[in-house]
Each structure stands twice: as C-alpha cells, then as structure tokens.
A and B are shown apart, each in its own frame.
Chain A
Amino acid sequence: MSVNTPSKLEKMLKAGHQAVTSECGPPRGSAAEEIKEKAELIKDHVDAINITDNQTSVTRLCSLASCIHLKLAGLEPILQMVTRDRNRIAMQSDILGAASFDINNILCLSGDHQSFGDCSEGQNVHDLDSMQLIQTVRHMRDEGKFLGGDDIKRPPDMFVGAAANPFADPYEIRVPRLAKKVAAGVEFIQTQCIFNLDKFEQWLGEARDRGLLEQVYILAGLTPLKSAGMAKYMKNRVPGMDVPDEVVERIAGVPKEKQAEEGVKMCIESVQRLKDVEGVHGFHVMAIEWEEKVPEIVEGAGLYPRPKLD
C-alpha cells in the first residue's frame, strides 16, 4: 500500500489510526446550506465525508458541486461517482473538475438501477463499470494520461476507493470480487452496512488467507437502525442486505420510543467488536438522514477525539 496522495484519509490510514468516515446526501434543490449544515454536524468526528451521487437514482444536487462546497469550507470530501449516468468523457472531465479543487478522494460505484428513482423512464449509461472506473482514475493519476492516451496537465491526485458488499450473492465470489477490485487498483474499501458480523468476519478471514488485507484498507460500513420497522425494511426490501433475525428481534424487543437508542447502542457495540479485528482499518458510519447521531456513535465507540495529523 504505497499510495501517497494529499488525501487526509490516506494519511490517517497510513499513520495506523482507525479512520472514521461518514456520508451526506445532497439536497433535492440548490440550497448548498443544507449539505454544509449536515457536514458541520459531523466534521469534528470524522476524517472524511462521502457525498453520495444521486443515491437510489433520485435526482439531487450533484456530488461534485457538493464536494466543492465542503472543500471550500475546509472539510475533506470523498467524491462518490456512479457509472450509471455518465460516459467516459463526462467521468474523466468530472474527475479533473474535482482535482481542480484539490478533492483528493473518490469512491467508484456502479450505482443503483434508475428504475428505483424519480427518472425510471431514463436511460442508463454504464459505458464503464465500477472496476473500470477504478482503473480509469488510477490511469489518470499514475500515468498522467487520459484513457485516449493524451497527457493530462496536472493529473488528478486522488486516493481511490470502492464499495464491497460481503453479503451480496453469489457468496463464493465475494472474496474473488474484492481481489478483482484490488487488481483493478483500488486502495480503500467502504463496505455495505454490516449487520451480520459473523459473516463479515468470515469474509475478512478469507480475504486475509488470500493476502488481500495487506493490499487494501478496509473501512467497515455501519448503519444505526432507527426502529424495528427500518430493520425489517432493510432485511426484506433492500437488495444485497443481510440483517439477521436476532438483530430484528433485539430492536423489536424494546419499546418503540427506545428503539432509536437501542439502534445506536447496537451500532456502537459493532464498532467495539470490529475495532480489533485484523484487516479493519476504520469505520464508515452511514446514518441515513440521521447525521446528528454520528458524533454520539463515534464518541460512544471510543473513536473520539480524532487523531491530529502533522
């Protein structure tokens, strides 16, 4: 793992600290204050903030502009980029746009299918897939060249990430798929929300056996559950999500008004269990439209104050 970008996230990981990231969804309008206010709530408790790219295919203020707002406010954004909406010209162009503001982190994703969103009658692009986007950013950064072969003046200097879902099917290729992303050049991974900790640890163990843990920083993805209803929804309705029955039973077992508190408690317990697991280099806390809970989780898990970098 010999990357050396100006990314604060990379520096934190390289220094051997457990990193903490979180994410904010941009607003459905042009009021930049909304994204800045969300980021302000969590900025002292995280090292970098993902900005989602039209998540669930619902049209929003763009990830790039939102990242610029955060960067100008002195924060460390992670530009999420999905391959659904843009071809290779637009993606390379947006990468340069981000680099022009010294945005130093990118997360390469394929994106949810557009049928889930507000433009279900639209086309998708998928000129590249997420692995090929990883390769593209690495090529632009390391070779200083566009995909077309021409030189880039002042290439992007980005720490390159991707998602991994240890729970999606088919299980037998979950670790080979991670290996493939590593081969494509990914440098950090943020995982899908982990509710099945045993299965996550099994996945990590298999990744260790293949020597992958030395090649990529893995941030464990965690989401606090707000209610038993949310637990059931995620279990039954969200593709690729593994919420074990005991998790649903535990949150359903407390009175409704105490469920949010229980959800936060469960999230903190997950961090505490995973903190010392080999290969876990940090946490990606996805408090969906519940950003104000991130500080409580980070503090409760003993990850606050955040280490200072020199």
Chain B
Amino acid sequence: MIVANGKPLEEIIEVVKDHRKILVAGCNECVTVCEVGGSKEVGILASALRLHFLNQGIDAQVGETTLQRQCDREYVVGAREEVEPHDIVVSIACGVGCQFMAEEYDTMPVVPGVNTSFMGGALERGIWSERCQGCGACVLATTAGICPVSRCAKRVLNGPCGGSTKGKCEISKDLDCAWQLIVDRLKSLGRLEDYETLAPIKDWTTDRAGGPRTRVKEEVAS
C-alpha cells in the first residue's frame, strides 16, 4: 500500500486559515489501512479545525467526506455535489488522490493534509515499513526476494557496503542492512553461491529517471 504521515495541524491551519468553507476529504483505500486518511481521521481533523476556528471566534464550516478512491476519476467526479459548496479541500488521501481531486476541480484549491511517504506494508499494528520504490524493473528474483533499491540506504545492487555492522545499516542501529537480509535469505534458500553473480549496471529508464511514467494496457484502453 501507499503509506503516508499526517501533516502537523499547525501547517494545515496555516494553509486553510483564510477560508470559511473547508472540506476534509479522505479515501477508503491505502490511507485508511495505514490509519492516516480514512473516515476516522477525516472526523478527527475536521473536529480539530472546527475547534481552531471556534477558539479564534471565526464562523467557519468544516465538512467531511470520504471517497472510495481519490485516485479513481469515477469516484472523484462523483463527489462533485459535496465538493462544490466549499472554498477549499484538504485531501488526506495520498499525493495521487490529492492531485486527481485538483485535476477534476479546476477552480477549487485542493491542498494535502498528509505527507505521502512510501510503498510498504504493516509489520504490526501502527508500524509500517518501506518495501518498494517502483523502479520499474524488479530485481527481487536475484536478491532472494529482498529489495536493495528500496531497503539499502545507498541502493547498492552489489552490496553490502563497508558500513554493514552486526546486521544493521551504517545510518542507524534501528535499520536492518538489506544486504545482511539478502545474504541470510540466500543461505536459507541454499543459494549463497548466487551472491557472487555481479548485478549489471542498472537501466534506470523505467524509474523516475526516465521521466513521469504512464502505463497503457492496450486491450482495455479506449
């Protein structure tokens, strides 16, 4: 899923303080699962904003809505009746959802209420960890299923670097060294000899290096 972090309330207030009809818009997908942008968090943020305006003696309305998917035009268009009576939307979907809202409502300011961080999963309740950077050319088959692009601080494809210490990365004792994990898993798979295969110089054209990406599935695209 896409994992995000809530922005500090003060930062959101700074952006919406001159508006009087604010809509907080959540999303039922990834940000609901990572507990930052679902209907529950919409309610919490809307209440905090109402309290702020009340304390300032300002008469402002703060509406709430949660779309099924903000990254899907069908749902974004379907929210028109809720969106249009407002003068700003605070989207607490990911950066994709926030932009899809902005693209659809071209006279409506749409601002983010979260910082979109990474693609990852939950290790346990309340702890999410990065697993993918979308490089567009997956190397997991040769790295024992552990991604050096997203999990090594230097994304070295022929690791580990000299900074790997007791299984941890040189930048933090709390961060696993991806190459220690790769070596350990190669051992478990009985494939440690695969370690010595040199990973070739990577073609990054499928990564962000190649420019913004579009995927077309010919059979279904009209």
Chain B residues with CB below 8 A from A124, complex form: 153-154
Measured in the bound complex, the distance between the Cα atoms of B162 and A165 in whole Å is: 6
Does A3 interact with chain B (Cβ within 8 Å)?
A: no
| CB under 8 Å from chain A, chain B span 197-213 | 198-202, 204
User: Which DSSP category, helix, strand, loop or mixed, fits chain B's interface?
Assistant: loop
B198 contacts A129, C-beta separation under 8 Å: no
Measured in the bound complex, the distance between the Cα atoms of B196 and A131 in whole Å is: 12
Quote the shortest CB–CB distance from A37 to chain B (angstroms).
Answer: 29
B167 contacts A169, C-beta separation under 8 Å: yes
Contact A173 B195, CB 8 Å, known A112-B163, A128-B201: yes
Measured in the bound complex, the distance between the Cα atoms of B195 and A239 in whole Å is: 22
Measured in the bound complex, the distance between the Cα atoms of B125 and A56 in whole Å is: 37
Does B135 interact with chain A (Cβ within 8 Å)?
A: no
Quote the shortest CB–CB distance from A141 to chain B (angstroms).
Answer: 16
Measured in the bound complex, the distance between the Cα atoms of B164 and A128 in whole Å is: 19
Query: What is the interface residue range for chain A against chain B?
Result: 35 or more
Q: Which of B161, B183, B187, B198 has the most CB of A within 10 A?
A: B161
B170 contacts A112, C-beta separation under 8 Å: yes
Chain A residues with CB below 8 A from B187, complex form: 172
Measured in the bound complex, the distance between the Cα atoms of B183 and A165 in whole Å is: 17
Measured in the bound complex, the distance between the Cα atoms of B209 and A128 in whole Å is: 13
Chain B residues with CB below 8 A from A116, complex form: 170-171
A110 contacts B180, C-beta separation under 8 Å: no
Segment among A71-79, A176-184, A199-207, A244-252 that sits at the interface with chain B: A176-184
B183 contacts A110, C-beta separation under 8 Å: no
Query: What is the interface residue range for chain B against chain A?
Result: 20 to 34
A183 contacts B196, C-beta separation under 8 Å: yes
Does B165 interact with chain A (Cβ within 8 Å)?
A: yes
- Tell me the nearest residue of chain B to A132, going by C-beta: B201
B170 contacts A180, C-beta separation under 8 Å: no
Q: Which of A83, A131, A136, A169 has the most CB of B within 10 A?
A: A169
B183 contacts A173, C-beta separation under 8 Å: yes
Quote the shortest CB–CB distance from B152 to chain A (angstroms).
Answer: 9
A168 contacts B165, C-beta separation under 8 Å: yes
| CB under 8 Å from chain B, chain A span 171-226 | 172-173, 176, 179-180, 183-184, 192
Q: Which of A126, A179, A184 has the most CB of B within 10 A?
A: A126
Does A84 interact with chain B (Cβ within 8 Å)?
A: yes
Does A8 interact with chain B (Cβ within 8 Å)?
A: no
A169 contacts B158, C-beta separation under 8 Å: no
Contact A240 B171, CB 8 Å, known A130-B156, A135-B201, A180-B196: no
Does A33 interact with chain B (Cβ within 8 Å)?
A: no
Contact A129 B164, CB 8 Å, known A147-B201, A170-B183: no
Chain B residues with CB below 8 A from A183, complex form: 196, 198
- Tell me the nearest residue of chain A to B159, going by C-beta: A129
* 18 interchain pairs, CB-CB under 8 A: A111-B154, A113-B153, A116-B171, A126-B155, A129-B159, A129-B199, A130-B161, A136-B201, A165-B162, A168-B160, A168-B164, A168-B165, A170-B183, A172-B192, A173-B183, A184-B198, A240-B162, A240-B170
Supplied contacts A129-B158, A239-B162, A240-B165, 6 more A-B pairs, CB within 8 Å: A132-B157, A169-B165, A176-B195, A180-B198, A183-B196, A239-B164
